[in-house]
Amino acid sequence: MIAGIFAGLAIMFFGLGEVLFIIQILSSAGGYLSGEGYGLFGTMLAAFIVSIIIGIFVLIFGIKKSYSIAKIAGFMIFIYFIMFSVFSFIARLTTEGILLVLGSAFILLAVILSGIGGGGSNYMQDYFQQSAGYYPQYSQSSIPIGKVIGYSFGLVGIILTYLGINGIVGALYKVMKVAGNYLIASILSYWFSIEKFYFGNNILGMVAGIIAMIGLLIYAFSKSSNTAKHVANIILEVGLILFGVGQIIVGAGIIAKGEYLSAASNLPEVVSASIYMIYIGGIIALIAGIFAIIVAIFFMIEDIMKMSGKLAEEAI
Burial of 175 (0-12, 13-18, 19+ CB in 10 A): middle
Please give the Cα distance from 246 to 264 (Å, whole number): 26
Please state the pTM of the whole predicted model. Answer: 0.77
Give how far the C-alpha of residue 91 lies from the chain's centroid of Cα atoms, to the nearest Å: 24
The pLDDT value given to residue 116: 57
HSE-up of 127 (CA within 13 Å, CB side)?
19
Using CA atoms, how far residue 18 sits from 14, 85, 127, in Å, is 6, 18, 36
The pLDDT value given to residue 11: 86
Please give the Cα distance from 172 to 268 (Å, whole number): 26
Judge whether 262 and 275 are in contact, CB under 8 Å.
no
Q: What is the number of residues in the chain?
A: 316
Positions in the chain short of pLDDT 70: 29-34, 67, 115-144, 169-202, 223-225, 258-265, 267, 313-316
Nearest to 4 by CA among 299, 294, 288, 293: 288
Please give the Cα distance from 56 to 59 (Å, whole number): 5
The pLDDT value given to residue 161: 87
Spell out the SS3 assignment of 20-82: HHHHHHHHHCHHHCCHHHHHHHHHHHHHHHHHHHHHHHHHHHHHCCCHHHHHHHHHHHHHHHH
> Collapsing DSSP states into helix, strand and coil, what is residue 134?
coil
- Count of CB atoms situated within 10 Å of the CB of 167: 17
The pLDDT value given to residue 126: 54
The pLDDT value given to residue 137: 47
> Which tens digits make up the pLDDT trace of 177-220?
544 555 555 555 555 555 555 554 457 777 888 888 888 888 87
Using CA atoms, how far residue 34 sits from 41, 48, 84, 177, 253, in Å, is 11, 21, 19, 15, 34
Using CA atoms, how far residue 82 sits from 77, 180, 288, in Å, is 9, 27, 27
Judge whether 111 and 74 are in contact, CB under 8 Å.
yes
> Collapsing DSSP states into helix, strand and coil, what is residue 65?
coil
The pLDDT value given to residue 104: 92
Judge whether 233 and 215 are in contact, CB under 8 Å.
yes
Beta carbons within 8 Å of 221's beta carbon, 6+ residues apart: 143, 148, 228
